[in-house]
Amino acid sequence: MSKLAPGDKVKWKTSQGITSGVVKKKLTSKTKIKSHAVAASRTNPEYLVQSKKTGALAAHKASALRKQK
C-alpha cells in the first residue's frame, strides 16, 4: 500500500458495497467524529475520509483504504 496524503482519491468496503471518497487528513491522536471515538495514534494512524456520494466523514485505517488511480 502506498502512503496516503490529503487529496488522494480512495475506495473502501462498506456493508452497502464499495464507497469512494477523498482523504482529508491523517489522524495521529485520539479524536471524535460526531459521537464516534477514534483511537488513532502516531504508531497506529487513521485517515479522515469524506464520502463522494454522501459527503459524510469517517475514519479508516490505511489497511481498509485502496488508493484509486
Mean pLDDT of 44-66: 96
In this prediction, residue 52 has a pLDDT band, given cuts at 50, 70 and 90, of very high
pLDDT at 55 over 60: yes
pLDDT at 54 over 80: yes
DSSP line for 1-64:
-PPP-TT-EEEEEETTEEEEEEEEEEE-S-EEETTEEE---SSS-EEEEEETTT--EEEEEGGG
Q: How far apart are CA 18 and CA 68, in angstroms?
A: 12
Cβ neighbours of residue 66 under 8 Å, at least 6 residues apart? Answer: 1, 10, 11, 12
In this prediction, residue 2 has a pLDDT band, given cuts at 50, 70 and 90, of low
**What tens digit of pLDDT does each residue of 3-27 get?**
899 999 999 999 989 999 999 999 9
